[in-house]
Structure 1
């Protein structure tokens, strides 16, 4: 199937002009496709051939679109670093289609880097190559390791120049998601006192994304309970896999519980609980260990927009479920990473390990992978040399061994399960920067290799060995700017 053969099913546009502005993309110059996502193509049922590639290139360039779907920029608000911004919106992206997949679901196509919109404020409406490469690769990686995320379809580069900290190359990215509605959508209509529009948005979301809630006594409350659960589970995944979002503003939070709007993200190198990956985050509001708390803060901001329809006590009760869901999900994921039994003793074992990892500057991802590749006693013997306080590590190892034994699994079965859950490679900023620098010089081979790694992060291949090595100490935990 070709791109133009997809069945376009406009839904969001039916909400009316209060929810968006119709905007034509501003064409980029000399656009070439840098990459396509095999999983994105498969999701939409698109055949990867010359004709499809050309249509995707033109869509990324802003020179082709579906006649039945005028592109639109969504309007929303958001709490940014805790302060409320009353009108944000898609400042550099456009919803270019809603299409039906082979399994009859509807997927939105969003073009990032499409040019100026009424919501661009001081921006130029463009995306740069480096940030587009980062989002493309992390979307592929997160999907492959099982973390809820938006997906990607295509990445393109152009000859158009833009200014950030310096002159850079403009690029564009096609993002896929069942919905691009954010917490900030509800905030916009609530705080601007457009209560009819807030109700219409709620009805839309219930109909198209949470239809099971329509049969509950209070559909809006049931919807919020679902968002609370999905967000708690999402952030449990972030913490278990060492992912730092960097900009957890409410306008970057998906009502579907997906990782959304990748900016200055990072994966932990050495375990550092209070790591800040965003240069702009001077107070550490979005530090790694603050993400669970901020998740609840953002959900509370969302819940506040429903205070006219739902009793305060009912909203408080719904929000009170967050920590239990998060803790249970996080502990379950960590027990899977460690290949041990999940019970009341597990929490202390996990906490003690993280404390010692921080004290000894242990690489976060590689520890779990090392534990999954050798029999237990041999793996623990090999790790012991990395911990300065040998007695503390021995006490932890004894408790951990006892917890592993409770699983009552043969070692081969347990290790295979761990290897299927612990990626061999972490998508480190150190290696992303190498890809970006090569691509900016016109060399796409490094990108292609890391893209292959991101699609198969559990696979051990000799030629990929360099991608699992920790970076030099001087390159670890480097913060990034928001333009990343």
Structure 2
């Protein structure tokens, strides 16, 4: 492996200083002909990196894994996980390598990881490679999530490899450079707990507290405090998912970030027509990770984290279980609070009243029964706050618009009880109801153009639109529109 001495990533690798059983150190596998598809220049600058240097031949070599920058220590992280409820004691980074960590301009430590960088000891027979489609999907959706204000991993760069990857059919290979607050997962804790390695579990917990939850260090029981704080972040994250109609698709414990970020965009999707039972993932045959199940599954995943922390919480197991169960109740309370606050803002209800959730639930039930588009319905409500009486954009989402009209009478009566200026209400609603989301058919269009025709112009246009999701761009009206029947995407697929 050739090492480039330019300091593209001024790394300080705290995870690499943990014991050797936490990871496997190895270099990325070289690729034939790396070519930069896109560099996220704004993110690069936020990370304290030089976009011009990263765009050079040597920079692209670093982003593809052909050269390891000075001070980087590539490693594949070990973790386990419950996959669709079944525990797998060893998973780990099978096609990704953590290059190292940088301190961004806000003083926050951020991981730099390559996805699609070749086989590792955790590949389980896989080739360790990524194809262009999933790389573009993760780039698009993760950056859209960031623009929507959802905690998420970010995409720094996408690079094609000049190689073909064998899947159902031969596909162009690619490497994604991903940025995260960290890549520690619930499954990372499970890896050590499953082996009875209490010392490693303690080391990992201490590392997470120091890096992500320093306030827990001063608590009477730091590990119990850690569990509670992780519950809070996950509750607030899942509430944000629900409020924009996002479906992760594979909420396995190895896909749950301890830092509280959305991670691993495989068969993820945004709902078009609203229904709580909506599933896109081709591998979710039983609907375990359906849209409406996400809060319940998140709490289940956190219970698995709690199990790993029991030996640290208290020596007596019964005492530890009782304390952990109490901590887990934080999730439901915090989720409900975040969701209720968010749905009120989506409806323009700025002075809480007891019946607000019933009003919101009734709208959602009517939407589900009438095939109403989730995003367009709520965005359409914003115009009513400006005094437009017809609610046309919203009501026309319903197969039977009179169903919406009946609900809107009660909604208008509720709005009238607030002495809020229409302009203020409209501004709040527009900040809670995006005009643009990465609609599935648009993402597929972009992938097909790039993958089959080598045309990346649609990819660039979609990214530009999604960068400002709460603004109106009449010239990009088709990016806000619901799909035609022939454009509807019914299934999304895992990137492996």
Coarse TM-score class (shorter-chain normalised) = over 0.9
Cα offset, 1:343, TM superposition: 3.0
**8 Å contact kept, 1:299–1:319:** yes
Give the superposition deviation at 1:38: 3.5
Cα distance change, pair 137–3 in 1 and its aligned pair in 2 (3 A):
farther
Q: Which residue of 2 aligns with 1:471?
A: 483
- The corresponding residue for 1:416 is 427
1:327 to 328, 336, 355: 336
In 2, are the aligned partners of 1:66 and 1:97 still within 8 Å (CA)? no
The C-alpha deviation readout for 1:122-175, integer Å capped at 9, x for no partner, is 211001100000000111100001111111111111221111111111101111
Pairing 1:426–2:437 present: yes
Match of 2:449 among 428, 438, 441: 438
- Measured after TM superposition, the shift of residue 106 of structure 1 is 1.4
Any conservation in 2 of the 1:72–1:96 contact (CA below 8 Å)? yes
Cα distance in 2, alignment partners of residues 244 and 126 from structure 1 = 25
When residues 51 and 171 of structure 1 are mapped into structure 2, their CA distance, relative to the original with a 3 A threshold, is closer
> Cα–Cα, structure 1 residues 446 and 382, in superposed 2: closer, same or farther, change >3 Å?
closer
- Residue of structure 1 aligned with 2:103, choices 84, 100, 103: 100
TM alignment of 1:17-56, pairs within 5 A: 17-49=20-52, 52-56=55-59
- In structure 2, distance between residues paired with 1:22 and 1:475: 44
User: Which residue matches 2:381?
Assistant: 371
Select the residue among 347, 360, 369 that pairs with 2:370.
360
Q: Which aligned segments of 4 or more residues in structure 1 are displaced greater than 6 angstroms?
A: none
1: CA distance between counterparts of 2:49 and 2:97? 21
2:197 is equivalent to residue 194 of structure 1 = yes
Paired residue for 2:10?
A: 7
- Distance change >3 Å, CA 158–CA 373, structure 1 → 2: farther
Structure 2: which 5+ runs fail to align?
A: 314-319
SS of structure 1 residue aligned to 2:312 = coil
Native 8 Å contact 2:45 2:51 kept in 1: no
- How far apart in 1 are the matches of 2:399 and 2:461? 36
Tell me the CA shift for residue 3 of structure 1: 7.5
Partner of 2:317: none
Deviation at residue 437 of structure 1 after TM alignment: 0.9
**Aligned equivalent of 2:188, options 166, 185, 188:** 185
C-alpha distance in 2 between matches for 1:331 and 1:477 = 30
1:318 aligns with 2:330: no
Structure 1 residues 210-219 or 420-429, which shifts more? Answer: 420-429
Aligned equivalents of 1:447 and 1:392: distance in 2? Answer: 38
Deviates further, 148-157 or 407-416: 407-416
Q: Structure 1 residues 291-300 or 57-66, which shifts more?
A: 57-66
Q: Distance in 2 between matches of 1:345 and 1:3?
A: 61
Figure out how many residues of one structure are paired with residues of the other and give that number. Answer: 483
Contact 2:6–2:70 (8 Å) recurs in 1: no
Residue by residue over 1:436-457, the C-alpha shift from the partner in whole angstroms, topping out at 9 and shown as x without a partner, is: 1111111111111001112112
**Following TM superposition, by how much is the alpha carbon of 1:247 offset from its aligned partner in structure 2, in angstroms?**
0.3
From 233, 246, 251, the equivalent of 1:243 is 246
Contact kept in structure 2, 1:56 and 1:154, CA below 8 Å:
no
Moved more, 169-178 or 364-373: 364-373
Q: Work out the CA distance in 1 between the residues paired with 2:101 and 2:418.
A: 46
Which secondary structure does the structure 2 equivalent of 1:99 belong to?
strand
Deviation at 1:226, TM superposition (A): 0.5
Question: What is the aligned partner in structure 1 of residue 360 from structure 2?
Answer: 350
**What do the CA deviations read for 1:319-359 (whole angstroms, capped 9, x no partner)?**
11211211111111111122123332111011001100011
Match of 1:456 among 468, 471, 475: 468
**Quick check: 2:380–2:392 contact (8 Å CA) kept in 1?**
no
